Amino acid sequence: MVPGALAVALLTGCAGPTLDAGSYRQAALHTTIDLASAVATAELATRLELTGRSLAPVTSEVVSAAEDDGSSIAESFTSRQPPDEDSRALFSQLDDVVTAATDALTALRMALGLGNQAGVRQALDELQRARAALVGWQERLQ
């Protein structure tokens, strides 16, 4: 009973409201780390696929999972209310990077699904740029 109750408590307790600028910054840092992880996962899986070192269903599963992760990270980022003007500025700068990353993940998943080689390569380039931006932000926010 206790483990069950705990599990429920853990699963229902989602990200609470952000209170001050410091914790908003912290949350932004986590967004960049988690999103960079999703982007890198998709990149790695796709590069393996392009060099014939993977299995097609695995690649497509790993990429869709990364896309899902990316959109839920983006969603919790945008749903957080910036507490002050600085945070608001941080949000608008970071939002472009976050959107670029999630869009590229979606584009990659679609191109893979269609077997569109050129689309895959283009999405990979976008992912690489998005990841570089995210890593840059990580260093700034740390």
Partner 1 sequence: MKKALGLTLGVMTAIGGFVDIGNIVTSGITGARYGMTLAWAVVLGTIAMAVFGEMAGRVAAVAHRPVYHVVRERLGVRASMLNASSSVVLNVLTVAAEIGGTALVLQLATGVPYLLWVPLVAAAAWLVVWRMPFQRMERVLGLLGLSMLVFVVALFWLPTDWAALWDQTIHPAIPAEQAAPTWWFYAISLIGACLVPYQVIFFSSGGREEHWSIKDLREMRLNTFLGFPFGGLLSLALMAVAVPVLRPLGIQVNHVGQAALPVAVAFGGIGLAIALFSFLVATFAAAAESTLSTGYAVAQYFGWSWGKARPPVGAARFQFVCLATVVAAAGTVLTTIDPITITIVSVVLGAAAIPLTYFPVLVVANDRRYLGEHVNGVVTNTLGTVLLVVMVVVALVTVPLLLLTRAGQ
In terms of Cβ atoms closer than 10 Å to its own Cβ (0-12, 13-18, 19+), residue 106 is middle
- Residue 126 DSSP label: H
* Closer by beta carbon to partner 1, 47 or else 88: 47
Site for partner 1 in 57-116 (CB under 8 A): 57-58, 60-62, 65, 69
* Closer by beta carbon to partner 1, 85 or else 139: 139
State the nearest-atom distance from the C-beta of 94 to partner 1, in Å. Answer: 17
Could you tell me which of 94, 107, 105 has the C-alpha nearest to residue 72?
105
Sign of CA dihedral 108, 111, 113, 115: negative
3-state secondary structure at position 102: helix
* Closer by beta carbon to partner 1, 4 or else 115: 4
Residues of the shown chain interacting with partner 1 in the complex, contacts defined by CB under 8 A: 1-4, 6-7, 9-11, 13, 33-34, 36-37, 40-41, 43-45, 48, 52-55, 57-58, 60-62, 65, 69, 135, 142
